[in-house]
Amino acid sequence: MNEKFKTQADVETLAQEVACLKTLVTYMLKALGQADAGRVILNIERAISEVADEQQAETFRNTLNQIKNSLSSIMILTSSKCNCA
């Protein structure tokens, strides 16, 4: 394990860290912009389709869907605040 990223063994702490990482990934994708974020998501979906363990693949799909839904909400909020004309 990487000593820089020590993690507690309890489930609650792990769940909080995973939620934090999902949020981080969402905002990183937003920073990339819609086109580049879309390419990243397509590459991740391709990689998930190659995962042999179906249970693990389903977990990855669910996580990616959560990130995509959150990203969509952020993009909609950002565009609705834009005073573009």
Q: How confident is the model at residue 44, as a pLDDT?
A: 97
Beta-carbon contacts of 63 under 8 Å, excluding residues fewer than 6 positions away, are 22
Per residue in 41-82, pLDDT tens? 999 999 999 999 999 999 999 999 999 999 998 877 666 665
Beta-carbon contacts of 44 under 8 Å, excluding residues fewer than 6 positions away, are 60, 64
Q: How confident is the model at residue 2, as a pLDDT?
A: 63
| Residues written for the chain | 85
Packing angle of the helix pair 11-32, 34-49 (nearest 10 deg):
130
* Sequence-ordered alpha helix ranges (H) in 1-85: 11-32, 34-49, 54-81
pLDDT surpasses 60 at 85? no
Model confidence, pTM: 0.77
pLDDT surpasses 60 at 84? no
Q: How confident is the model at residue 1, as a pLDDT?
A: 47
* E strand or H helix at 32: helix 11-32
